[in-house]
Amino acid sequence: MFDALIIGGGPGGYVCAIKLAQYGKSVALVEKENLGGTCTNWGCIPTKALLTATHLLDEAREKSDKLGIKLSVEGFELSKVMSHAQKNIVMGRKGIEFLMKKNNVTVYKGTAEVVTKNRVRVKETGEEIECANLVLAHGSVPVVFPPFDSVEGIWTSNDVFVMKELPKSILIVGGGVIGVEFATFFSSLNVKVTVVELADHILPNEDSDVAEELKKAFARKGVEILEKSKVAGVEKIDGGYKAIVISNDGNEKVYNVERVLVAVGRRPNIPEDVRNLGVEINRGVKTDERMRTNIEGVYAIGDIRGQIMLAHVASHEGIVAANNIAGVDSHADYSAVPSIIFTNPEIASTGLRERDVDGGNHEVKVSKFPLSANGRARTMLENIGFAKVITDAKTGVVLGMSIVSASATELIMEGVIAVRNRLTAQQLEESIHPHPTLSETLLGAFEGAIGKPIHL
């Protein structure tokens, strides 16, 4: 009998397995496809590999002449761009396979079927595995709904990674993280992109001023953004699809496009055997802050919980579950979860957003510093973006941060540490920031938060 058995080898499952092994526990992991889960194989890694290529293409096109560099950009070779993504996928898988062996985690390849909380069957072989603790890390699947689920050839994000040819035009349904990242990718490759978002603005989980900055960048690339709108109907026609888009005020537009990509997010993958186990389900499998379900000895982590569906959150929850299985009391801390978006410019945020402020009941101060006033940004020819800091009006404690900038996904860590540890804007303002760097955009926002801006 294993001390713990984990179903799913994604960023939650494999991290949980390693952590348990480090505690000296005997661990088994069952994965039906490839180690790494959605993040390594169909999400984070391949998407960023594709976007790295198009970011470089954009830089060469838009900046080289202004910087005095004579380049002749002939274009791109899609097969090599896709090959770059595939190489990263394979390297990620092999890296995790190595870590499983290094930590003596027993890996079963196949579909796990939960028999009881202490027994799991591998469907393909019939082999049964006994365990003292069970960790559910089944992940998620792309959401497809009417009318898209009944139309042949509609793409989800998974289809992008196996495409052989670029479409000339694409309609992206959903302006959230997945949608805007793919809009960035396709528009950089000269595809005509239209994004349809039902909410008031794209990136509905971010503040409106963040969305507005990204829309400026999209406008430069000819991306059409349709907010407060929905696709009321879609049908396959010769050479592509006909989509009917209706706005909230009743205006109707018809779009003929070569491809339609549904990018409205993902839903928890909860198979029948998990449901039959009797775990409580509320959108996803419900747990407490220690990742425990309502059944003793059964834990759930990552996207199957249906809460914050991010790879780094899944890994955090995997460590929390492992700690508690090993007898180390631990709970998940979501106070400073970073949200990162690899558009161009990048977007990142953590903690409180302006839209979260409760009608003035929580007195806050909002300080923004424009990227255009940052010396390093000017040398990089970057002029779209800002850093925004939200602080407690009385104590000065940093409650949230949003960044729109080149390298925003790296810069946000200063905000994560600040929010997580309840640092004040003054403490951060007094910390020497290197010059000239993009991090000084944050310094400018901190200076504004304490009422003493220097460079504005």
pLDDT in tens, 242-255: 999 999 999 999 99
How many CA atoms, within 13 angstroms, populate the side-chain half-sphere of residue 40?
A: 24
Tell me which residue of 29, 13, 3, 39 sits closest to 112, measured CA to CA. Answer: 29
**Do residues 281 and 267 touch, judged by C-beta distance below 8 A?**
no
Mean pLDDT score, 222-243: 97
Mean pLDDT score, 380-388: 97
**Among 49-53, 147-151, 362-366, the range of highest mean pLDDT:** 49-53
Strand 252-257 versus strand 281-282 pairing type: unpaired
CA angle 67, 68, 73 (to 5 degrees): 90
Kindly state the greatest CA–CA separation across the chain: 69
Q: What is the pLDDT of residue 358?
A: 65
Q: Write the secondary structure of the chain as one string of H (helix), E (strand) and C (coil).
A: CEEEEEECCCCCHHHHHHHHHHCCCCEEEEECCCCCHHHHHHCHHHHHHHHHHHHHHHHHHHHCCCCCCCCCCCCCCHHHHHHHHHHHHHHHHHHHHHHHHHCCCEEEECCEEEEECCEEEECCCCCEEEEEEEEECCCEEECCCCCHHHCCCCECHHHHCCCCCCCCEEEEECCCHHHHHHHHHHHHCCCEEEEECCCCCCCCCCCHHHHHHHHHHHHHCCCEEECCEEEEEEEEECCEEEEEEEECCCCEEEEEECEEEECCCEEECCCHHHHHHCCCEECEECCCCCCECCCCCEEECHHHHCCCCCHHHHHHHHHHHHHHHCCCCCCCCCCCCCEEECCCCEEEEEECCHHHCCCCCCCEEEEEEEHHHCHHHHHCCCCCCEEEEEEECCCCEEEEEEEEECCHHHHHHHHHHHHHCCCEHHHHHCCCCCCCCCCHHHHHHHHHHCCCCCCC
Q: Which two tokens stand for residue 108?
A: 């079963």
The Cα–Cα gap between 332 and 288 comes to 9
Contacts of 306 (CB under 8 A, 6+ apart): 267, 268, 282, 283, 284, 285
Any bridge partners for residue 131, and if so which? Answer: 2
**pLDDT band, very low/low/confident/very high, at 456 (cuts 50, 70, 90):** confident
Percent of the chain whose pLDDT exceeds 70:
99
**pLDDT band, very low/low/confident/very high, at 73 (cuts 50, 70, 90):** confident
The amino acid occupying position 242 is: K
For the cut 70, the answer to whether the pLDDT of residue 349 exceeds it is yes
Q: How many CB atoms lie within 10 A of CB 287?
A: 24
**Do residues 40 and 89 touch, judged by C-beta distance below 8 A?**
yes
| pLDDT tens per residue, range 398-415 | 999 999 999 999 999 999
For the cut 80, the answer to whether the pLDDT of residue 97 exceeds it is yes
316 classed as catalytic: no
Q: What is the pLDDT of residue 361?
A: 61
Catalytic residue among 316, 331, 362, 435: 435
What is this structure's pTM? 0.95
* Average confidence score pLDDT of the chain: 96
For the cut 80, the answer to whether the pLDDT of residue 149 exceeds it is yes
Contacts of 23 (CB under 8 A, 6+ apart): 322, 326, 328
**Do residues 18 and 105 touch, judged by C-beta distance below 8 A?**
yes
- Is the backbone of residue 112 left (phi > 0), alpha (psi -120 to 50) or beta? beta
Percent of the chain whose pLDDT exceeds 90:
94
Q: What is the pLDDT of residue 224?
A: 98
**pLDDT band, very low/low/confident/very high, at 74 (cuts 50, 70, 90):** confident
CA distances from 335 to 308, 399, 421 (A): 12, 9, 10
Who has greater pLDDT, 362 or 326?
A: 326
Q: What is the pLDDT of residue 359?
A: 59
φ, ψ dihedrals at 450, nearest 5°: -95, 10
The Cα–Cα gap between 373 and 81 comes to 35
For the cut 90, the answer to whether the pLDDT of residue 342 exceeds it is yes
Write down the residue that tokens 């082999």 correspond to: 127
**pLDDT band, very low/low/confident/very high, at 62 (cuts 50, 70, 90):** very high
Q: What is the pLDDT of residue 357?
A: 85
The Cα–Cα gap between 295 and 279 comes to 6
The Cα–Cα gap between 69 and 66 comes to 7
Domains of the chain: 2-142+267-325 (3.50.50.60), 148-264 (3.50.50.60), 339-449 (3.30.390.30)
| pLDDT tens per residue, range 293-333 | 999 999 999 999 999 999 999 999 999 999 999 999 999 99
Tell me which residue of 433, 432, 422, 427 sits closest to 450, measured CA to CA. Answer: 427
The Cα–Cα gap between 176 and 201 comes to 9
Any bridge partners for residue 196, and if so which? Answer: 173, 226
Write down the residue that tokens 């939650």 correspond to: 12
CA distances from 329 to 289, 299, 332 (A): 11, 14, 11
Strand 27-31 versus strand 2-7 pairing type: parallel
